[in-house]
Structure 1
Amino acid sequence: MSQKNNTLHIEKTVDFIVNWLKTYAENAKVNGFVVGVSGGIDSAVTSTLCAMTGFKTICIELPIHQAISQVNRKKEHISQLKNRFENVESLSIDLTSTFEEFKKNVPESEKIDKFNLSLANSRSRLRMTTLYYIAGIHGLLVAGTGNKVEDFGVGFYTKYGDGGVDLSPIADLMKSEVYQIGRFLRVPQSILEAVPTDGLFGDDRSDEDQLGASYDELEWAMLQAEQGKEAASFEGRDLEIFNIYKRLNLANQHKMKPIPVCEIPKELRQI
């Protein structure tokens, strides 16, 4: 796997995204943004970009059996943001008891893998519901935190969970570019060095454990696919990575395409 050449102009890109967010908020006639902060790089960068607009930005912690390391990272980030930007506010809403009550009231399944995955996705959807509640009472937009590899490459997000947002400021940035911007924005070092994880399973599994490849590898595979390369072009680990990417991309197309609508033929309508 060869190294990728990245020519992103960081400072100009930051200015472009911040202006894009400001223009969108002004046109939508809203007061600002809500961001779910997880302790990871994507939400740290997104919340910083929102804060830089000058619009009200509420950073929300939504723990559900959260690992203490994740809790500490997001608290560090939010504290830093509030010190840097007067327009930043924060809330912490512990959804652990809500999630546990939900578990008591839904049927279990003998298919334990699917059961656990459904529960993990339910965590994300509870968080989405809470973000929209806060956004609604304050007249704000929910800012998405997905990057390009997750959102349009392998579909590594929860449909109507962290995928349920009003706008996506970093969804055209590769993961490596998000890290570059994070360093430029002075995101805490603890977040820059943390192993990426969605934190939805209550254990220490990383995104790479779930996906079977690192973000650098998947980013490489995504670029190869965009260039029209096929599996026959690769061998060894490169072939394995490329096949992982293609499999995940195909399996998650339902997340990336518009909701299919059954369009009724004109001849079936009585006029």
Structure 2
Amino acid sequence: MAENEVKQLISHLDSLKPSTLNQAPQLLSRAKLALLKLNALVPGSQTPPQHLLLAATVLEYGALISIRLKDTDAFTRYYQQLQPFYSLPAERWNSRAGKPSNQGKVTGLYLLLLLSVGDYAGFHTVLEGLEMDSGKEQMEKDQFIQYPVRLEQALMEGSYDKVWGETKGDKVPSEEFGVFSEVLINTIRSEIASCSERAYPSLPISNAKNLLFLDSEGAVVQFAQSRGWVAKDGRIYFPQQEEEMLAAEKDVMSSSGMVIENTLGYARKLETIV
């Protein structure tokens, strides 16, 4: 009975549309309760292959739907719950029941999540584990794994234009990857903005548009306002840079005043001696 319930819930999850995704958390909770009744939510030595597949399928739906709902915490929990299933030896799965079908996609998404938060150590740890488990040749054939690998290489080179290109069009391997690609671009844009604030007193809006990978000058103005920048006369002005320049000028004037005062004092002493 519990097995049939899980199958029905999986079918319901599979039929969800973007407008009904908010139903998914409740369906997933019901599916996990049914899996508990089957003692299949965590793989055991006696868990039948067909129950292993049901459990892995439910958890993979949970991971992928969490991405669509932009719930990265839930996605991370599902990824962690899937690791005992992904680590099972091949003989625990049989040809009749099959194996989890979205391992590459879920793992690739986790790699992209690590990139988007700047966890490069974690990124390489996961890659090394994959290479040990499945081999380098198998990894290179998996489009879902190679996508974050290419992005990481471009980031290490500082080739932000390559990163931008990878997040567009058919280079994105699936809808779920588009969510993290957007997060990654926003992270890069924020980093470029911080560097620009320190490097320039101002920039033409047209230049800022290309520099920040924004689609229009209006988007530049909106982004500028969110950063506390000033947009006027076709340029973006960085208040922080202006404040630092004014402070530096004050320091120079103050230092100059002290030098002049000390010089005059020294001259007066010389006159006294003479």
* Structure with the bigger percentage of helix: 2
Q: Which has the higher contact order (CA 8 A, sep 6+)?
A: 1
TM bucket by the smaller chain? under 0.3
Q: Computing the radius of gyration over CA atoms, which structure comes out larger, 1 or 2?
A: 2
Q: TM-score, normalised by structure 2?
A: 0.26
